Chain A
């Protein structure tokens, strides 16, 4: 599926703000993933065209960073931190609890494609562990009860389109 015209326009506008258009690659990948939920070969090739890169180079970058998904996954992705500070505060037990609650292992999506559970490395919020990132929001000081209520609420929530992504084009030097 080609990107929506709004998305290609956004990517062009971001690229125009840098001395070299390729600098816009990470923001561009976010725009595409925000729209489509994951990054297909077709989409990467389209972005390569927009930024004057080869598809291979774009693929190499997209696969390097953990926040980019090459395959469609869950619509609600639980990214639970498993690194030391959170682990000292019970992250391992929490992850086991979530695996049971969702009926999947970490790294998997539920069969209906609604949820994905990921164990990630330090999220930079170690003072309020265990911590998880869900979409664009941090959840702090998690307990089994808290995640239960979050999961239960999302079971009936409307499915989001795409994946939430940071937006950067609002700030900075106006386009040239």
Chain B
């Protein structure tokens, strides 16, 4: 479709096979990209304004430029395919449908940062995706698109798949590196940042699947072409994963800046019949909830930030008027409590207390002071956790209390959830 970049080839039957991929212009970007110097390649990506699609939205070209040029150490590229942020399932489709696009993007990124070895870290549950990407890598080796001296350019790139094993925290880049080194997936202290000291203590760039999938298109068509979509500060397109109470959930690639309500109503089919929109989480479970009245905004980094939330991974979770917000917050704290890696006390203890307090309010009503207790726990976590997971865990609690305090009070008055559907 007209506004698609990374999904533009998804409709082509058999695109996961290298013959079809090559017939449709696949790996063409290598002719241009591997002919450029690494600096030229970084410059194009910088000019395009591509921002990381994994959550933080950090400018990709700038990140690449942080890799020291004069280091004697090997440099590594790691593609983050952990995809475990609740509400996000875009890399899932990118890997299953068009794995060669990711391989192509990784080859270019390796050249840009002077790396001869890239790893793609795929969550262990994605057995089929691991098969698809491994298959693509194997085919690329057979065609001489990976390995020594690719197409006579003098560029050498090796890629390998590495599986995760069920730990959300391994999506955090430094925990991912520990996991890849065969350690427990605990985050590392930053600085040093991975670009300086990452995998095996060597300079390492970590990029999300979708980020890297954009790169071949930018190299083929140029930075200006990429900027025809999106806004000045949010160029390009974004795959938005829409889930929850909509008629037509799924992944939709839209230009950044598309009205959020248009994504919900026109693409995802709107909320279920007989119901009205109550709330959304726009960027995966780690960002603050927005009430329906706050949803008339453009879907881009700056507009969602202005509304008090974040674009994050663009996992847009839609909730209609049948949703109890205390229940929703409790559900997410169940997640964060389970996924807290346990390294630091504020998060390990805080997520447990938040969950227990929310469960109490939901089941028996708790007391009004429990609401203050929740906010107090959040305050004790805010800015005091070792990694961003702890900060993420408080987002649903603070945002639901500030926007739906009346629902919390209704629980305490009612002695439990007034909306509970008895089993």
Which residues on the A side are within 8 Å of B135 (C-beta)? 170-171
- Residues B163 and A30 in contact, CB atoms below 8 Å apart: yes
- Asked, given contacts A19-B200, A20-B200, A126-B86, whether A88 binds B161 with beta carbons under 8 Å apart, the answer is no
- Pair B138/A84 contact, Cβ less than 8 Å: no
A83 touches B167 (CB 8 A): no
Contact B317 A124 (CB under 8 A): no
Task: State whether the Cβ of A82 lies closer than 8 Å to any Cβ in chain B.
Answer: yes
Q: Which residues of B contact A96 (CB under 8 A)?
A: 423
The reply on B335 being an interface residue by CB < 8 A is yes
Contacting A85 at CB < 8 Å: which of B130, B138, B244, B423? Answer: B244
> Which residues 321-342 of B sit at the A interface, judged by CB distance below 8 A?
323, 328, 331-332, 334-335, 338-339
Determine the chain B residues whose CB is within 8 A of the CB of A27 once the complex forms. 162-163
What A residues does B91 contact at CB under 8 A?
Answer: 124
In the complex, the answer to whether B158 meets A173 with C-beta atoms within 8 Å is: yes
Asked if A25 lies at the interface with its beta carbon under 8 angstroms from chain B, I say yes
Which of A4-12, A63-71, A107-115, A146-154 lies at the binding interface?
A63-71
Measured CA separation A19–B201 after assembly (Å): 12
- Footprint of A on B, CB under 8 Å? 74, 83-89, 91-92, 117, 122-128, 130-131, 133-135, 137-138, 141, 158-168, 179-185, 200, 241-245, 249-251, 281, 285, 315, 317, 319, 323, 328, 331-332, 334-335, 338-339, 423
CA distance A27 to B165 in the complex (A): 9
Task: In the A-B complex, list the 5 residue pairs whose CB atoms are closest, starting with the nearest.
Answer: A172-B160, A25-B182, A65-B165, A22-B182, A66-B166
Contacts of A41 in B (CB 8 A): none
Task: Tell me whether A64 and B184 are in contact in the complex, defined as CB-CB below 8 angstroms, given that A121-B86, A122-B84 are known contacts.
Answer: yes
Can you give 13 contacting A-B residue pairs, CB < 8 Å? A64-B167, A68-B166, A84-B87, A84-B332, A121-B335, A122-B168, A126-B87, A126-B243, A127-B243, A167-B131, A168-B163, A171-B141, A171-B161
Residues of B within 8 A of A79 (CB): 125
Q: Which residues of A contact B165 (CB under 8 A)?
A: 26, 29-30, 65-68
- Do residues A61 and B88 form an inter-chain contact, with CB atoms below 8 A? no
Q: Is the CB of B244 within 8 A of A83?
A: no
* Beta-carbon contact of A171 and B182 below 8 Å: no
CB atoms of A60 and B163 under 8 A apart: no
A138 to B131 CA separation, bound complex (whole angstroms): 14
Decide if A124 touches B83 in the complex (CB within 8 Å). Answer: yes
Measured CB to CB, the nearest residue on chain A to B323 is A88
- Which residues of A (13-69) have their CB < 8 Å from a CB of B? 17, 19-20, 22-27, 29-30, 51, 53, 60-61, 64-68
Contact status B134-A84, CB under 8 Å: no
Q: What distance in Å separates the Cβ of B247 from its nearest Cβ neighbour in chain A?
A: 12
In Å, the complex CA distance between A68 and B166 comes to 8
Chain B residues, CB < 8 A from A89: 243-245
Indicate if A74 sits at the interface (CB-CB under 8 A): no
Complex partner residue of B124 from A22, A67, A93, A127, CB under 8 angstroms = A67
With a CB–CB cut-off of 8 A, which chain B residues contact A172? 134, 137, 158-161
> Are B251 and A127 in contact, with the CB atoms below 8 A?
yes
Which residue of chain B has the shortest Cβ distance to A170 in the bound complex?
B134
> Which residues of chain A are within 8 angstroms of B130 by Cβ–Cβ distance?
166-168
Chain A residues within an 8 Å CB radius of B250: 127
What chain B residues lie within 8 Å of A20 (beta carbons)? Answer: 181-182, 200
The yes or no answer to A136 lying at the interface (CB within 8 A) is yes
Query: Which residues of B lie under 8 Å from residue A82 when comparing CB positions?
Result: 331, 334
**Identity of the chain A residue whose Cβ is nearest the Cβ of B170 in the assembled complex:** A65
